[in-house]
Amino acid sequence: MAADWDAGGVVREICIGWEEASEAEVVELRFLGGLHRLVLTGQAPELAPYYRNLGGTRPPTDAWKAALGVVAAYAARLHEDLAIVPQTNEVGRTALLVLALYRAAAALGRQRIRLLEVGASAGLNLRVDRYRITSGQWAWGPVNSPVHIDGDIGVPIEPVPVEIVTRRGCDLNPIDPSTEQGRLRLRSFVWPDNVQRYRRLEAALYVAARVPVIVDQSEATPWLLKRLADPVDDDVVTVVWHSVVWQYLAVAERQAAEKVIEAAAMRVPVVHAQMEPIDLTRIGRTLLTVTTYHGGVSRTVTIGESHPHGLPIRWFGSL
Ligand SMILES: C[S@@+](CC[C@H](N)C(=O)[O-])C[C@H]1O[C@@H](n2cnc3c(N)ncnc32)[C@H](O)[C@@H]1O
C-alpha cells in the first residue's frame, strides 16, 4: 500500500482528503477494514484464499497483487469507508473483567450485581455470564456456552457465586449486533490472521442474538448520572466497568464520570472496575483496577493484568 501511495497509484486516489490525517486516525486500518468488508461480503472472492479467518491458506507474499485489482475496482467504496472509525468489541477481556465481579461480591458482601458498562461498543462483554471462562481448576459460566475463554491464570481462585440481575451499557457509537451491518462492522476490524479472536467474536455474536442487551448512545457522565439514579434492591451491588475506553475520554470527562460514581456510592454500594492500559497514551499491558466504596470509605486494588485483547492474563493473587 505504501509503495502504491508513493507511486501515486490508486491507494493515493482513495486517500484523497486524508493526506494530513494524524497517526491516531489510523487511516491504514480504516482502509484495511473496508477491504476486509469486501472480502467478508463475498465481493472479492480472489482475496478470500489469503484470509485465514475465512479458511484461506495462501501465503501472504503475493496477496497484494490480488488486492490491488480489488482496490482498483472498489476505489469509490473504499474512499467512502475511510469515514468508518475502527471499532471492536473484544470478548477475550472478560477473562480479566470477571475478576471484578468476584472482587465486588467479596468486598461488599453482595452476590447480586447490576452491571453498567461505559464504552460498551456492541455490549458483548455485558453478556459475560453467558461465556465459559476457565483456568485450571477454576471455571465460570455455562459449560455449553459457544464462547470458551481459557484465562490460564495458573493460580486457583475460590470464587463466590455471583448473579448479574440487570445489565446495561452506553457508547458514543453503539454497534447493534442484531443487524448484519453491525456484525459486519465488528468482524471487519478483527484482522484476518487473528483467527482465534475472529472465532470468539462469531461465538459471542451467536450469544448476542439470544441475549438482548441495551447499549444507549451516550457520553459516559450524563449516562452514569441517569443510570446510577435508577432504583436498585438493597442486596444488589452496582459494578460500573469499562475496558480500553478511558483513553478516549478527555481528562475532565474522566474526572466528571468518577465524581458521579463517588456520589452514587454515598447512596448505594458501588464498585468501579477499570481495565485500562497502564499508559493511556499507547497500547500496551492492561491493568484491572477495582475501587470499592463502602460506608464512605473507598479502597482500590489492582487485581491483575493482561494483554490488551485479554489473553493471556496474570492474576496478582488477591480479590
Ligand atoms: C477500544 S473500544 C472498547 C470497547 C469495549 N469496551 C471492549 O473492551 O471491547 C472503545 C469504545 O469506547 C467508545 N467511546 C469512546 N469515547 C467514548 C465516550 N466519551 N463515551 C462513551 N463511549 C466512548 C468507542 O465508541 C468504543 O466503542
Using one digit for the tens of pLDDT, what is the confidence trace for 242-277?
999 999 999 999 999 999 999 999 999 999 999 999
- CA 174 / ligand 1 centre spacing (Å): 9
Closest atom of ligand 1 relative to the 91 alpha carbon: 9
Q: How far apart are the CA of 82 and the centre of ligand 1, in A?
A: 19
Does the beta carbon of 119 lie inside 6 Å of ligand 1? yes
Pairing of β 138-140 and β 132-135: antiparallel
Burial class (CB in 10 A: 0-12, 13-18, 19+), 121: buried
Residue 220: CA count within 13 A, CB half-sphere:
25
Tell me how many degrees the CA angle 247-147-291 measures, rounded to the nearest 5: 40
Cα-based torsion angle of the residue sequence 98, 100, 103, 109 in order, rounded to the nearest 10 degrees: -90
- Tell whether ligand 1 has an atom less than 6 A from the beta carbon of residue 123: no
**Ligand 1: does its nearest atom lie under 6 Å from the Cβ of 216?**
no
pTM for the predicted model, two decimal places? 0.95
The low-confidence residues of the chain, meaning pLDDT below 70, are 153-159, 280-283
Give pLDDT, residue 158.
66
The pLDDT of residue 6: 94
d(CA 45, CA 56): 11
Is 129's C-beta closer than 6 angstroms to any atom of ligand 1? no
| pLDDT value of position 136 | 75
Q: Strand 286-294 vs strand 297-306: parallel, antiparallel, or unpaired?
A: antiparallel
Instruction: Report the pLDDT value the prediction gives residue 281, as an integer from 0 to 100.
Output: 64
For residue 282, what pLDDT is reported?
64
* DSSP-based three-state secondary structure for 106: helix
- Contact in structure between 129 and 164 (CB atoms under 8 Å): yes
* CA distances (Å), origin 178, targets 47, 86, 147, 235: 27, 19, 17, 32
Centre of ligand 1 from the C-alpha of residue 303, in Å? 22
Instruction: Tell me, in angstroms, the distance from the centre of ligand 1 to residue 118's CA.
Output: 7
